[in-house]
Homo-oligomer: A and B are copies of this chain.
Amino acid sequence: MTQSTFSGLRSFLQLPSALPKKKKPDIVIAGIPFDLGTSFRPGARFGPSAIRDISNMLLDGDNPVHRLDPCKEFSMVDIGDFDVVADSVERSLDLIYEQADNIKSHLVCMGGDHTITLSLLRALRKRHKKPISVVHFDAHVDTWSDSFGATYGHGTPFYYAYEGGYIDPKRSVQIGIRSPVSNEVMDYTQKDAGFHVITAEMVHRVNLDHVIAGIKRTVGDNPVYLTFDIDCIDPSQAPGTGTPEIGGLFTWQALAILNQLGTLNWVGMDLVEVCPAYDQAQITALAGATFIWTYLCLLASKNNK
C-alpha cells in the first residue's frame, strides 16, 4: 500500500526530525518563522509550514534534470522551527545565529523574512574563517543601511553582512534586481561593496548561458551561499510574498540558472519571503519547495561526481 502525495504529517519531503541513534545527518532543514523585519506585508512566519505542506508533491520521483532523488543520496532531517523572540529583531538575530552555529551539518533554512540571512551568514563566516560568496536571487538589493528607521530589517542583511566582513561582494552576485532604490544605495551596492548585479531585465534579454557563465566566473571556488528571496520571481508566479515587484524572473529561468551551478562550492542555502496569506493555489510555496529541492539535487549531483 503506497501512501499518496496528499497523505501524511508534513515535514519537508516527509523527512524525520532526527536520525536514529542521534547520528549526525548530512543535511539539516529548518524553518525560521520570523517576520518582524518586514517593511510592507508581514506573514512570512507561515512560510515554513506552507513550504512543508506542498513539498509532498516532490516525493515521488527523480529530478528530471539531475536524474536523482536527493532523499536517496543524503541523510537528511527536518528539525522543525528555530526559536525566535516575539518582540525584538536584534535578540532574534542573536538567537538565530546561536542555533545555526550549533548545527554542524549542512544547513538549509526556510524563512521567514530576509532579515534572518544576516545571522546565517554570520555563522558561516565563523565556520569558514573567511568572507564567503553569495548567490543572491532577489528583486531588491537588500543593502539598505536601515529599515524605515530601524537598524535591522529585511532590506538590510547584505549591508551588515558586508560591513561585518561575513561576505565578499566582489565574488558575489545579485540576480533579479528591479525595485525602486535610491541611487545612493545602488552605487553603494555596485561600486563600494562591489556586487555583480544582474537585473531582471538582463535575465530576460541576455542569453542565459552568458548569465550563468558570469555567475560562475564571479564566484569562482570561494565557499558560496545561496540566498533565494522568492520575490526575485515575478508576482504572477510568486504572489505569496511581502514586497512584490513586477517584471520579475520566471521560474524556468531561475531553475535553468541554478541547474547549471552544480560545480560551485556550496556551503548552505536559505529560501525566504514566502508569505502564504497572499498566495494562490499554493503556487508560491510550491516554487519555494522546488527551489530547495533543486538545491539539494545540485549538492547530490556534485557528490555523485
Contacts and interface: CB of A to CB of B under 8 A. Distances in A.
B149 A2 contact: yes
B61 A180 contact: yes
Given A6-B49, A247-B250, 20 more contacts: A6-B46, A8-B80, A9-B17, A9-B52, A10-B49, A41-B46, A53-B53, A58-B180, A61-B185, A64-B177, A64-B180, A86-B147, A87-B147, A88-B88, A88-B89, A88-B150, A239-B281, A244-B281, A246-B290, A278-B280
Interface in A28-44: 31, 33, 35-43
A181 B69 CA distance: 9
A256 B64 CA distance: 25
A178 to B, nearest CB: 6
A101 B293 CA distance: 38
Contacts of A57: 40, 243
Given A280-B281, A286-B246, A149 B85 contact: yes
B182 A61 contact: yes
A236 interface: yes
A80 to B, nearest CB: 5
Interface in A233-252: 234-237, 239-240, 243-248, 250-252
B151 A83 contact: no
Interface string A14-29: 0001000000000000
Which 8 residue pairs across A and B have the least CB separation, nearest first?
A: A61-B180, A87-B150, A42-B42, A86-B150, A239-B281, A278-B281, A247-B252, A246-B251
Contacts of A42: 35, 38, 42-43, 45
A166 B58 CA distance: 31
Interface in A74-113: 78, 80-81, 83-90, 95
Given A42-B42, A247-B252, A283-B246, A8 B81 contact: yes
A172 interface: no
